[in-house]
Amino acid sequence: FFASNGFPCPALHNPSDHYLRIINKDFNQDAKEGATEEAIDILVSSYKSSEIRNHVDNEIAKISESDSSAVGEKKIHAAILTQCLVLIKRSSLQIYRDISNYWLRLAVFIVVSVSTGTIFYHIGQTMHSIQERGSLLCFFVSVLTFLTLVGGFTPLIEEMKVFERERLNGHYGITAFLIGNTFSAVPYIILISMIPGAIVSYLSGLHKGVENFLYFASVLFAIVTWVESLMMVVGSICSNFVMGVIIAGGIEGLMILTGGFYRLANDLPKPLWKYPFYYVSFFTYAFQGLLKNEFEGLTFSSDQGGGTKTINGTKLLTETWQVQMGHSKWIDLSVMFGMIVLYRVIFLVITKCKEKLKHLLVTNNGPLAIFFSRTNIDH
């Protein structure tokens, strides 16, 4: 085509270099002024009236016709239930094989529960045990919280990276991933709640009874699930491990501090710390539920003053711990699970908004397009 229009490739020359010199003046510094533009005009005019153009147009028409028929056909996706079941099965198998996730946490929780149980061994029902019971409950759930954060954030980030890559293929949606991630972890969270809970409850002599133990284990289950929900929210915003642990750890620390144990509810400064932090803190309801579960139905004795005095556990809840007695411990547990659902919904909303924003920036070739296209993948 070039030769027929007066631009043949000389002998012993690279054809690619020759063609570039003809149509691009950057590759031919010795060309006369306007020679490149003239050559381009000649080639374009010749191409428009050539058989080559007719052949190319016919090929484009065939391709467009086949693409149109392909676009018209609906892409087949698995049903949402099938997606969830497959993701639950795959995630459960991955958790089972990954020793560094729940299995390592279980081992550490057992060590912590044995240590805590032996330190608070058979604390009894004297007046001294009132503060000891509260300290035991607060310490155990606080340690459980931070160990869950440190041990679970890295596996969660890795799983979210896999989700980001697979999401681009359109095989499953955010909702299916969220459901699969939630239900696949349930058996393992039950395991790391029941076993350490049974150890510390037996060794320390906490309030005996099947109902009391099940409630204690349920609160531990809720705490671990809430921490994982918080990690999902933080991980959807910041996928860097160090920054994620710092942010999530700071949030957990504030919620523990304003939960009503280290500083009683009536002693908290009302601006900010009591309104709203105390009421939005997850540990407000965790501590209150655990204290109600522990002290309701118990009596504590004291031999001071020459006689035996007893005090009712319910009275201690209101006077010593300043627990709100207008509702039962089961309401506190319900609020905890409601907050877990709320955090998961927040993760869903953030992820969907990020996808829409990323698509908008990439479509408009915005300055942040590259950054958002690499979020949760490069980190």
Band of residue 376 on the pLDDT scale cut at 50, 70, 90: very low
Q: Which of 109, 99, 286 is nearest to 196 (CA)?
A: 109
Cis peptide bond prior to 155, omega within 30° of 0: no
**Lowest-confidence segment of 42-46, 131-135, 138-142, 361-365 by average pLDDT:** 361-365
b/e sequence 329-362, b meaning 16+ C-beta within 10 Å = beebbebbeebbeebbeebbebbeebeeebeebe
Nearest Cα residue to 91 out of 146, 147, 172, 149: 172
Lowest mean pLDDT among 41-50, 113-122, 128-137, 346-355: 41-50
Report DSSP letters for 328-360, one per residue. -HHHHHHHHHHHHHHHHHHHHHHHHHHHHHHHH
Average pLDDT of span 74-97: 85
The structure tokens listed for 152 are 């679970």
Degrees, nearest 5: CA angle 174-178-184: 140
Q: Give the other-Cβ count within 10 Å of 37's Cβ.
A: 11
Encoding tokens for residue 289?
A: 């539920």
Closest by CA position to 255, among listed 273, 232, 236: 273
pLDDT at 257: 95
Question: pLDDT band at residue 377, thresholds of 50, 70 and 90?
Answer: very low
139's tokens? 């310490």
Name residue, tokens 């207008």: 326
pLDDT exceeds cutoff 80 at 304: no
Output phi, psi for 273, to 5 deg: -75, -40
Return d(Cα 323, Cα 331) in angstroms, integer: 13
Kindly indicate the confidence band of residue 307, based on its pLDDT and cuts at 50, 70 and 90. low
